[in-house]
Structures are given as structure tokens and as C-alpha cells.
Structure 1
Amino acid sequence: MSSNGPSLDHAAPLDPMMEVHWRDWLAWAEENGFVPPEDAEFARIRERVWEASEYVAVSVLRHPEAFAELVASGDLVSAYGAGDLDARLTAALAEVGDEPALHQALRLFRRREMIRIIWRDIGRLAPLSETLEDLSELADVCIRRPLDLLYDWTRAEIGTPRDPDGRALRMLVLGMGKLGARELNLSSDIDLIFAFAHTGEVEGGPRALSNEQFFVRLGQRLVQALSLKTVDGFVFRVDTRLRPFGEVGPLAMSFQAMEDYYQSQAREWERYAMIKARPVAGDPDDVASLMDMLRPFVYRRYLDFGAFESLRDLKQMIVKELHKRGMDANIKLGLGGIREIEFIGQAFQLVRGGRDPDLQVRPILQVLALLAERELMPAEAVAELDAAYRFLRLVENRLQAHRDKQTHQLPDEDLGRARLARSMGFDDWPSFADVLQDHRDRVQGHFDHVFAAPVPEPERQGSAWTALWLGGQEASQALRILDEAGFEDPETARTRIEQFRDATDRKGLSRRGHERLAQLMPQVLRVVAGCDQPDAALGRVLQVLEAVARRTAYLAMMVEHPGILSQLAHLASLSPWFTDQIRHHPLLLDELIDPRRLFAPLRREDLESELDALLAHVDAEDLEQQMERLHQFAQGNMLRVAAADLTEVIPLMVVSDYLSEIAEVAVGRVLDLAYVHFVERHGRPTEILGESTGFLVLGYGKLGGIELGYGSDLDLVFLHGTQSVTAMTDGAKEISNEQFYARLGQRIIHMMTTQTASGTLYEVDMRLRPDGAKGMLVRSIGSFAAYQESEAWTWEHQALVRARPVAGDPALATRFAEVRRAILCRERDPERLRTEVREMRAKMRANLDKTRDGRFDLKQGAGGIADIEFMVQYSVLRWAAAYPALADWTDNIRLLESLARLDLLPGQAAEDLADAYKALRAAYHRSALQEQPKTIPVDRLQAERERVRALWRDLMDGGSEQDA
């Protein structure tokens, strides 16, 4: 980086006095027989450091032996390894016996390490990441090691604080801000919060004291050890004002008091502060307990878009204050400064961190990288923010290296500007200032984009909808507005709006809630009016809004992302199922934010990856959270399929493929989680047929036939591969294989069907297992094969046509396929088979057919879906012995294609059945999305139904049949 000025390495010194200081040190070195390095690289770095840091030059002059030791040790040119600083400080404090000695040792240690860090930073021997890490580690060890000594001394003086069980308590120290994120700058304050696990009384002391009094005293001593200014300087300036209640609160608080505070009294900005909270010292169990307690305060389970509004307000307050104080040149808090980059990252963390635990990290560069990876921000924008952050943090360090002073203000005098520019590698101020301004402009642009306030509707368009919402119009005028907007029934629409307004008034919304609703509702009415079916859309959208009205974060989400409203209204006009899902599970509103995701359902590999991410941070024993994440996964992906289906982005015949894959991935993961749970308790089953679990989940019915619909039950059968009835698991708490697999099956059903806050994963029907509802929940593959061979009814063999493995052990799946093929390909008496299939169908129709009152039952009516399924199943069982290819598939369409290819049905029968099946399923499917009974008017699909009835008569009622 250069300009028209002289090159850096040959420029004249900016401050001749600094060179005088260096010559004085050289004189000392000569007197004491110390020979400094004579290489050119050392000389170049020394010149840069002495020019940029008066603190180093003066410190070396006053403490010449410290610099000589640094040079001789080689530490100036070497990066530290993990634990090096801790070991060095431990050694430095080994002989310390009282507080004055502790204070002195800490200050001498800090001075040495600061000289080294500044030398490596300004000399460009260390990247920014190393500098920030070294500074943060320096603070950590300067907190932890003195705290150990002070704790022992305080206990010796006033007794030991204990919990109710008699355990000696330690103080927990939270590092906040840049210390918490391990991003400490060269002359930063350290923000600390002190806590302890339990209230109680100190034991063994000269007088009665509470645990709080002990830890307040200990905290005071630690603050003094770090921040008291002595003849040797200070260690770190300490700020404890981020604690609950600020300066008026106790210096140390119990966990219970902290929990009460953060649940009931904490302010919004304290959430932002807690993002970077990191335990620096404390008992590991206590640390885990406190962080578990704080996490829900910081990271909400829902998407908290109110964070954008709150951070926007906070930033405006900072900007106003800076203008008042004439601090526009502040690179931390000013426009385009470091704080704006941090706010961008924090906003996304607060909004999404509860749903995406990966975002619960502290360093801002890691957060930015995740925003690009998750496509929450464009990669180019993230790259610019990353570059700006690194540049601004270097500028910050160079400003503070000058006099070890906490400043973020750009210099306004020529010498200071020249010093800063040259320390950053520029020849002069203008060339540096141009690059700096370019970075700040980009940061400000991205900040303004992320935090742009929602644009209100133009007055001409928006005022009518605003007045309609507020109820400030005559009824006739409101009806006219709604009529002109395209509502077929303006009176009903007006009534719905009034009822919704009254309902939200009764809910007792907060002031912020009413403000957000006032912002939102004119937009809602305008967007709904633009739908093809505004009457239907209005009622359904208002149901969603009524469900979330008291959870103002969802209102904020829609205010911040008006596109959500457009998608919601459009899809609401097409299907009540869609809005019912969102009404019951508002977390699904997140799926409407990004149309690229909303209308692009995932296939198996991506489904697996998404579920991996959702479960990655859930504790293996946290069953409730596992089920919540599984529900979130299934509901979100079903919603995407429905959106793509309703808008005809994907064809109807692949909708079931998507829905079936979602169910298979969910079932497979439930099996994995449940299996791991029992293996940890009882070990693995032994003597099994299997490559992994020895357990297999079979899908029957719609799942087996890859024909799953919205809200379909899952027909499941469980098998295991135990080869011996006496086989046991191999764990310390062994149980029989039979017990292991029975419990495994029970846990799978529990995880699938238990009602949680977000509903159930799937309804499960196990009645197709051998012996039905009275049979064992889990059968061995051998027992299953024997049952199918000698005990199963014909209808059970019909069901087997549509059975396939959906999760579990590959070796067991292979064995099941052999059993299935053997059963399906058995020789059967055609007439007996036809009679039994026909009789079963007649019983089913008599019990289940809802054809009446001018409406036809799509599934059970004569000529409906079930008739086609029974004909396909009959055909497979009738001819598979001669044509084993009929046992290859489980879905009706491919089975009909096979029957057609083999010319086993007369004429175009197979093709006609396939066409009728598709038409009937499409109508069935649409009824599900419209939440209508699965019936149609009797005059619909008449040709298809009549063709099915005719083929039934030909094939099943004794008509002509083509022999094999």
C-alpha cells in the first residue's frame, strides 16, 4: 500500500524522542554486556514498533532488563502454544504470599507480555487472530490464577462457602464482550460478572457470614488485583456494570437470584450482551448449570425477529449520542464501525440461534461465516464484512498500542494521523483514510440493508386499509372499499376484521404488540385483497394471526419480512390445510421467508443433512428436545411439499414420493436415537442376523406403496434378527434380546406418537403385524416368515404386496425381501384366491363406504381407489408364481405397468386402471389439502369409475380371465 510519499522502511522518524529512548536502551545494553540482534529484520521491526507505540518505547526504557529477556528468550519471534501463558504465570506466582506481591507480579507479567504482543502485531509477525487470542488468553490467566490464590486466602480469613450438601463453592466468572468472544483488543477493559451456585452460610470463619458476603469480598479483591493502579501500572481495567441491576446490584449473585432477574427484569440489551458471555473461571458443573439457565433467556425457541427492531433502536441511540459528543470518527461506535458489524451478527444470532444452535457461537467472524453458509446473507456481503472487521480491528489495536489507552477515536492532528497510517502499512494519511472509508461505507451499506425499517405503504394506497383496520369509517364506506378490492362477500369480510380486532383487544397485548399489529394489519388487508380468492384467504390468515397475536415476535417477523405475508395469503387462498399447520405450529412461518426453500422440497440426502443439523446439538438423553426437533423437521418439510404442490411446481404423482421420503428419514432417525439409548444401557444384542441394529421397520399401506398423503398414518411392522431365544445383550446391565427389541419398539412408537408442544410426529398403526393388535409388538424374522407361510390370511398376503423396509438393518432387509418374494410367488388356486379377495373387499365396503347423499367415497366406493388396489393385489398373488417380476415393486402404478408389460390384463385394462387411479388419487389428495371429506359429487369422474367397475366385474366377479 503506497502513495506519493516516501517508502515506509526509509522514512524519517516521526518522533525523534522515541529514537532517543532506543539509544538510551542500547547504552544500557552495552553497559550490561547484552548484545542486541544485528539483523536487518529486527531493526525494521524495532523502528516500526518504536514509531507506533510510545508505550513500548517508554516501557523498554524504564525496564530495560525486561526487553533484554524477551529478546534473549526468542519469545518475540515465536508464537505461543496452548497453555504457555498459563504455565508462565503459574511460575511467576509460585512464590507469591500476599496481595502486594501478587499485584506486583501480575503487573510485571502483563507488561512483559504486552510488549511481546505489540511487537509481534506491529512487526507483522502475528496475524490479527493470534493477537486477539493472545490478549484474551492473557486476560483469562490473569483472572484464573489470582482468583485461585485469593479464594484460598479469603477462605483462610473468613471461612468456606458451602452448598446445602456441604460442597465447597467456587466463584464463577463470566467474561463478557470481547473477552467473552476471545476477541480482546490491546487496551480493552474486561467486562466481568461474578456468580456463585447457592445461597447459604460460610462455615469455619470467625463470624457468621452469608455466601454472598464471601463472594462479594472475593470479587472486590480480584477487581483490585487487576485494576488497581500501582507504581507498576495495572493489569486490566475491570468493568462489572453488566451484572444484574448494574452498579446498584450486588457484585456477586447466586444462580437463583440471577435466574429470577433474567426471567423478570432484564432489559433487551442484556440479551445482546449475554451472546458473548463465556465462563472464564468456575467449577465445571456449576458452569454447565449457569449456562443452561442463561441460554433460554438469550436464545428463544421461536424466530425472534423483534431483535432487528430492538437493535435498530439501540443503534440509533448510539449514533445520536456520538453526534452529541462529536465522536463521528469513532471506529467502534461510529457509522460503518466495528459495532455495526457485531450488530449484524448478533441480530441473526438472536433471531435464529434458538432454532440453529450452530449460531450460538461468540466470535463474530465465525458468525459471519455461518451466515454465508446458511445463505442468510450473500457470500459477497459476508466477505466484505469480514475484510472490514479485520481492518477495523487492526486500526483499533494500532490506536491503542500508541499509549496503552482505550480509545477508538481517529486522530485529528497530523502527527497522530501519520503515525496511524504508517503503522497500518500506508505511506500517508490520505491513502489510509481512503481505504478506511471504503470499508466503513461498505459496512454501513450492509448494516442499513439488514436493519432497514419496513417501508410503509404509500399514503394513497395504505390510508384506506389503515382506516379500515382502525375502524374509523362508516360501515357503508368500509363495504365499498372491500367490494372494490374484489371481496365477494364484503359484509362477512368486514365482520371478520372487526371480530379479529375485538379478539386482539381482549388478549391484552403489550404496547409493543399493539404497535406491531398496527403496522402489520394494513399490509395484511392489502395483500389478502390481491389474492385470487380474498374471502377465503382473509378468514384463514386472520386465524393464523389470532393464534400468534400474543407472541409478538411473530408479528415482528411479518413486519420485518413482508414477503411472508404474500406467501401466507397466496397459499391460504389455495388450502386451509396449509394455514391450519401454521396456526398450530407458528414456528413454520420461518419456512415462508425464503421462496427458494419454500418451493423446493428436499430429497433424501438433503433431508438427512437437515435433520443432522437440527439434532447436532441436542443432548443424547434429552428425549423431549429430540422429539421437538423431529417434529420441526417433518412439519417444515411437509409444508414445503404442500407449497410446491399447491403452486404446481412439482407434479402430483411425485408429491407422495416427497412425503414418503420425509417419513422414512424421520422413522430411520427415531430408530437410530432409540437404539443408541438402549445400547448405552444394556449393550448390543448378540447372536443376531444383521449388519448393524438387527432391527427392521417395515412400511405397509400408503407408506409401503410410496403413496403417502398429507396427514397419513404410518402402517408399520417391526422385525428383529435374533437367532436364539436365549440370546442376551452384551452390556453390564444385560437383558434378553427379546426384551431389548420389545423396549426398542415401544420407544419408537412413543417418540413417533407422543403429543408435545409442537404436536405428534406421525400417527402409527401397528395392526398389520402378525396376529394383529393382540400379537407381539416385535417379531423375529424367523417367526414372521413362519407366520406368513402357515398362518397368515389372504388379506395379510395382500397387505404384504405393499410392504417394504423403510428403516433398519440392511442384512435383515435382504432377508425380509426373500421372505416376501417367497410368499408372493407361491402357487395359489385362482378361484379360491379370487373368492377370498372379493369377500374381503365386500366386507370392507359394507363397513367403510361413505357413498351417500349424492357424494361418492373416493376410496371405498364401488369403482374407487380400494377396488383398484384389490385388483392389483389379486393380480400379483394370482400370477407372481409364474412372473416373479411382479414381486419387485410395492406401488400400484409400477405394478400396473408390470401387468401391462406382461400382458396379464385384457386389452388396455392396466393402462385404464392406472389412469383412473391417478385421477382418483388426485381428487383424494386435493380433498386432504382443502380439509374436505374424501368424497366428490357423484357426477364427477364418472367415466373413470365406470371403467374400474367394469374391470372389477371382468376380473373379480367371474368374467373372462387370461390364464398364465
Structure 2
Amino acid sequence: MSAGERTSVRTVLARDGFGEIGDALEVLTELSDALGMDRTDILRGAGGAADPDEALDAFARVARRDAPAVAAALRRVGPVLWRLVGASTGFGDFFLRHPEELAHVEEPAVLPTEDELVAELLEAVGADAEGFARAGDESVWVALRVRYRRLLARIAAYDLGSSDPVAVLPGVAAALADAAGAALDASLCVARTRISGGGGPGLFTREQVAATRLAVIGMGKTGARELNYVSDVDVIFVGGGTDELNEQVGESRVIDIATRLAVQTMRGISGVEIEPPLWEVDANLRPEGKQGALVRSLESHLSYYDRWAKSWEFQALLKARPLAGDRMLGEAYVDAVQPKVWTSAARENFVDSVQRMRERVTEFIPADEVAYQLKLGPGGIRDIEFTVQLLQLVHGLSDDRIRQRGTLDALEALVAQGYIGRADAAAFARDYRILRVLEHRVQLRDLRRTHLMPRTPDGLRVLARASRLASDGAGVWGVWEGIKREVREIHVRVFYRPLLSAVAALPAEEQQLSTAQAHDRLAAIGFRDPAGALRHIAALTGGLSRKATIQRHLMPIMIRWFADGVDPDYGLLAFRRVSERLGDTPWFQRMLRDSSGAAERLTHVLSGSRYIGELMEWIPESVAWLDAEEQLRPRSGLALQQEARAIQTRHETIREAMEAIRALRRRELLRLAFGAVLGTLTIEELAQGLTTVSDVTIQATLRAVRREVVPAEDAALDFSVIGMGRFGGGELGFGSDADVLYVYDANGLDPQRANDLARQLVTGLRQYSEDNRVPFDLDADLRPEGRNGPLVRSIESYGEYYRRWSLSWEAQALLRARGVAGSVKLIRRFLALADEVRYPDRVALQDVREIKRIKARVENERLPQGVDRRRHLKLGPGGLSDVEWLVQVLQHQHAHEMPELRTTSTLGALDAARDAGLVPAAAAERLAASWHLASRLRSANTLLSGQTSDVLPTDRGKLDGIGRLLEYPPRSATIVEEEWLRTARRSRRDFEKLFYG
């Protein structure tokens, strides 16, 4: 390197914040030679690192072990990597142990959801449907810990990449708590395997372990979803067993099994293995603390709390929530202890005991740490938390509106109800977030549990850069000192006089609406929470604005319409949210006033469907559709395609384009939901509309991803998406997955290059089609070899596989294959290949027997535990699966000679089979009726609750709600249930005669 070049690089290093320029220059030279990268390319993003010197050293250490991994990561996500390793030597050490994990570093646009975290960690341990891991040896624990740290890196990358770490703090803390719960769930799977002989002591049978219930209750920050990066995870274990197991081995033996499970679960997280522990699982908040039994039954817990528990134990229980393990048992525990929590303030000297406990915490801090203690010291996090919790416990005795687990949520509730001043609450909320950001950054530094501010100028400088709260070390220390003074002053003033805190007076309008007469009237017409309804009414009608005046005129009749709906309370709440989102929009008020039809429809859809209410909150302008019949009809595929193409021309980046495409999808789902609830769409129109929206979403996503992934010189590559299952059949319902296959044709490209590009296309499709608000799962499990097979194959590979290895279920799956997106020419080739497999000229008897055997196995093994099989709309007797499997067997056997059977539509094929004499007309009618009703019930269930389920609820209120959506009269729960059971029973009889006979 010339002298001029060295001077230039020195300038860049100084600008990027390197402290030891000479040392950094030597390491950079070594790294450049090892990676084959230009220095400026290596330094891309170095300015965003909290400690670029440490990051550069970490890259060099990892590169000495695996240079290609470092080079690839720096080229792909250099700035992300600099931020991550620059803020955390702990992640540098992790990548040194596992260089291959660099390939998983990404710049996430959103935090992982709880479902994603659970799925990832269960996959890491190979969990099966019964909750057992693939093995119980130490290697599985290592796999769990590595995967957890991969997810931790993703959360940290999002956090460190945010322009406002203080703003994203609540989401980050919640994701960390969710990750902890997911890790415990996965470790519990390993524990089950270990104690039933799968790599451990094997003390119990698999059946005994499976029948043992263990609920893990999250406490403290974990329970409140406010967790740190590295923190003890406070838990309580609740054990139990099925009635059969209790009878077989006795309750004490069941608790013994549960205790073994708890011990092994903790060991999987905290035990010493090749991969370092994740964090300490702390069960010391259990009854009697360290001296008490690790696991107790629910009854034993409640007996202890009734007789022996101290005030601090109830304060700890304030944040308790089911975290892992048996959720039903966990919910039962929380439900049982909550009344005890909120009556604990009535105990003698309760306030004094809480105040004294806070003082003792401060007294035990070593003297030389007091000035640096972010958590426990005066003016620290604990001052805020204790103040909030005491206010909650004192006033929550009579006011359930402030019963929140999270500190920030509780602050919002407390200020809303007047128990703390707005200025104090705002200061607490702001300071709490900042303190937590500082705490997070000092823990990220070495990925270890600490709550101490750095003591050195260099440490403070790194903290300032990592937190973005100040420009230098002196500045971040000044922030800390200012917060300490402010928090301590508010804490002393409020915490030691909680019962004297001023309570804001209710507005005059709300006082008028809060009379016993109004309360009783709302209760009489069907509101379950009249007080809550009164608050919503007051919010909607209070004030002197024109909006409030119109609402006051409309409210009496709208309340009656809400009361006539399925869930008046939720309907009114959703209406308030939509009204607030629309603000003083003139057309909204005018439409409600001048169009009684629109107002009535609005109350109907909001009180009948949480799915609609949640979407309308984000698309409030959709209320205008209710005033125009044509707006409630599905838009054509052509119109949606044109809009999607226009979106992509307006947005330069794929992320911006896909945000707009997701908005388009949500909007059209809401339009279809309106039609379904208002009865303007048939089940066939609804299924086709949902399928069209999914088609357009995938097509638009593929275009965007292809533009990003496939360079011009590789444009010859053909790639297509094939719809399968209900998606391929055009029979989607609300909440259905989109089953797909991916296929490509190299068209003269290098085969490996083509395969790499195809895999990148699949990755992009899956990544950019994700929607956390309205999930859209591209499920490729119907591909050759199922989950064990490659996600994407060439057309030649598909042909070779289907000709040589295809199983009967794969031929059956292809009966619903339909081209969705990509190359039309390739789709034609694939479908021609599929025709050879799904419509063979001869079907061997053993193939038919195998299909029947698989169907019987699905019925026995796929039904969720504890579910009444008769109520399962998909897999239960007479359900969707029965009709679809029967039709598919007939298609597979006869479609070669009967082209009219060659359709992906279940009902279309059933009609053709009836016309061909393969199914008696009466049986076809009964089978179609069952399929129709199951499809309608599934969609109605999702619309009602906002959650997907294949099981007909047992709850009478939910059944009645589903019935109302299907246009049954009120209080038709029994009729809905009996009609399904009767229809399914008749369908099952026909199925058994035609399928097994």
C-alpha cells in the first residue's frame, strides 16, 4: 500500500470512529488479504458500529477460521454486521464458534413474531406433534442454543438498525420475552424425550410423559413481555396429569414426572454444555422460594397462596402469564391467582410492606455500584416499576382498567384513569424506555447479565454510539444523571403517598352517561360490559364539535343495532376505533347520518366479526364501501393485476412495492369479509375471490422478487408457482394456507446457476409475501418427498422423480395442481407432466389400497389431542377431507377415460362423478352439502374470532355467533351444532360405502 493510500485509509478509519488507527490498519490489511476484498468494501457500514475496533478484530478472528463466510456476510449485509458485532463482542464470539451462522444474519424489516420464534426453536429440536424432540442428548440442546442465538441476533439487528431505539424498545423487549418462552417450549420437548429414554435416564414411559401436564408461568419482565437481552427468566412450574394418568400412577407420581421435566427443561437452557448457557431459569419466586417444591399442582399453589403467601408474592404475581408448556393449565393458574393479586392490597400494612421491600433492595447494593446501577439504584428502573406496581395494586382493587402486566401499558392505564399526573407519567414512560435501552446495550456488549453503567471513558463512548442517546461518553453519562434525578423525585413523591395521588375528575358528559339507569339499560339489551360501553359512548359523543353532535343523534339507534349483533361490546369498541381513525372526516359523519343502510351495515359487520374490526382499524376508509353495493363485490383478477403492476412501477424498492401489495391484499380481504358477513357472496364466490387475491399477491411478489434476483444475463431462466390443495382447487377460505410447488427450467443456463437463482426466488417469495397482520403462508409441504425434499426443482427433476419414485399420495396431491404465477410455457409443461401422474391409464390395486390406508392413518393421527373428532370440520367424520379424498380417488382411477373428471374443483369433480354414474345422485347431494357447510363454518369461525380454527367451537356464544354469520336466527347454537353433526354423519355414511366399500 502506498503512503497516499495509507493516509486515505487512516482518514476513513478516523471518520468511522476507530480508536487505534495503527492497529486497525494492520488488521484491515490482514482481513483484506484473507477475504479478497477491497478495504473500502470491508469498511462499508463501519461508521455505524458502536466499537469498530472490536468489530474489526472479531471479523479477523472469524476469518482465520472461515474467511469465505465472513466475506460473503460482509458483501451481503456489511452494515448490519458492523452494527451487530460492533455493539456486541458476545456475538463476535458466537460467530467465531459458529461461522456458518453468519449466513443467517439479515436486516429484518420487522421483529420476529411469537409464532415464528416458536416454530424456529421447535424445528431446531425436531419437535413432533406430541411435543417430543427428535432426540434427548446434548447435541439437541446445542442446536437449540445456536438457533436461539441466531434469533437473538435477528432481534438485535432490528434493534441496532432502528433510527429510534427508544421507540422500538417495547417491541424488542416483547420479542425477547417471546423468544424466552419459545426456548423453554423447545427445551421442554427435549426434556420429554430425555426422561422417556431418548438420550436421558429414561425413568418413565413415553405415554406417561405425554400425559403429564407442565405449565411454565412467566414472572417479572418475562411475564410482562419486557425482557432484557440477557436476564434471569423468572418462572413458576405448575404440574398435573390427565385423569387417567392420575388414576394409574397417583398424583404424587405425576408431580414427580413433572418435576423431572422441569429440571431437564431448566438444564437445557442453563446447564453447562459445549455451547454456553442462554440464561438462568430462576424458579425462586415459587411458594416457599428455594426451600419449596419445584413443581406443585394447581390446587397446592392455591392452598399456599390462601394460607401462607406474603405481600411481595402477590406483587410478583401481578405480571404472571402462561409462558410455555401446557397453556390451558397455565391459563387456569393465572385465572385462579388474579383475584388474589387484586385483593392483596386490602391486607394490613400492605403499602408499608411494599415500601420497605423497595428500601431493602437499595440497601443491599454494594456501595461502589450505587452510582452505576441502572436497575436497582436510586432513580433506576426499579423505582419506576415499584411505583407503578404499587399504584396498580392499591387502585386495582376496585378498578380493573389498570390491571396491566406491562409497565408502559400500566402507566397508560393509570394516567387515563387519573391515578398519576400526565406529566409524571410521561416522564416515567420516557425515562423507563431510555433506561431500558441503556440496560440492553450494556448487556449486548458481552452478552452477559449486567445492569451497571460503564466506568471507563471508552466504555461510555461505546455506549453512547450504541444507544444513539448522546454523541460522546460525557453526554450519555449526563443523560443517565438527569434521568436518575427526575425518576427519584417522582418516585419519592408518588410512591410514598400513593393513596393521596390525585384522581382526575370525570368529564361532565361522562358523569351524565355513567348513571345507574344508563348502566342497567345497556346491560338489559345485551352489553356484557355496560361500564365499558358508557366510556365508549362518552368518548364518541363528548364535546361540542359537529362530529360529536352527529354521533349524539345517531348513537341511540346505533346502540340498538349493536345490541342486536353477536358481540355488542366489541362492535361498539371497534366503531369507536374506526371513528377515531377517521377523525373529523366530513363524509364519514354525513354518510352515517344520511344513509341508514350504511350505518346499520357497519354495526352489523363490527359486532359480528373481529376479523373485520381488526382490519377496519387499519383501513378505516373502507366504511365508505358499505354505502355502495358495487363496492361489496369482489374485484376482478384483471383489475387487481393492473393495480398490482401499477404499484410496482411507482415504487423503486422491493420493500416499498411489497408494502403496497400487502395493503392491496388486506383491502381486498376486507372487501370479501364484508360480502361474507353481509350475505352478498356465496361460498363459491368467496372461495374464488380469496383465490384471486392470493393469485395476484403471488404474481406481484414473484415479479418484484425476480426483478431483484435475476440479472438480465440470466433472463432465460423460467420459473413458475403451481397452486396445490384448496388453493389449486380455487376453494380457499379465510385463514387457509396457500399450498404451492416451485418449478424452474434452466433454458440453457448453467444448471447450478439456475438452481441457485430458483432457490433465491423461492426465498424472496416466502420472505416478501409474509404479512404479520393477515398471515399469508406459502406452504410447500406437498412437494416431492414432502418436507424432506428440496423446496424447488427443475422440470426435469420433477419428471424424473414422478416417473421413478412418485408415491400414491403425491399423485393424489397433483389432482389439484394449477398454474398460478410465472412462465406460462413452463406451467403448461408441468401440468402436462402432472397429467401423466394424476390421470394414469391404469391404477394399481395396491395404489388405491395405499391411499385408503393413508386416509385411515390421517384420521387416527392428525386430529389434535383432546378434540372431539366429530367437531373437526376438516379431518373429522363427514368433513372436508372425506369428500375431497373420495373425489380424488375417483379422479385418479377414472379421469384417464373420463376427461370431464379432469378439474381441480372438488365440487366440479363430484358433479362429474355423479353424471358419470360413479356416485349416486343422492349421495353426491349429501357429500356436497357436507363440504359446503364445513367450508362455511370454517370461514365463519375465522370471521367471528379473527383466528383460524378447523374445530367447531363448543362455546355456546361462539356457536351462536357463527350461526348468525350463516344467517341463522339468534340463539341458534344448538341448531348449528345439530345441523353439522347430522350433515356430517350422513356424509360419512356415503363416504364409507363409496371409499372403503
Q: Give the TM-score category using the shorter length.
A: 0.3 to 0.5
Structure-2-length-normalised TM-score: 0.44
Higher relative contact order (CA 8 A, sep 6+): 1
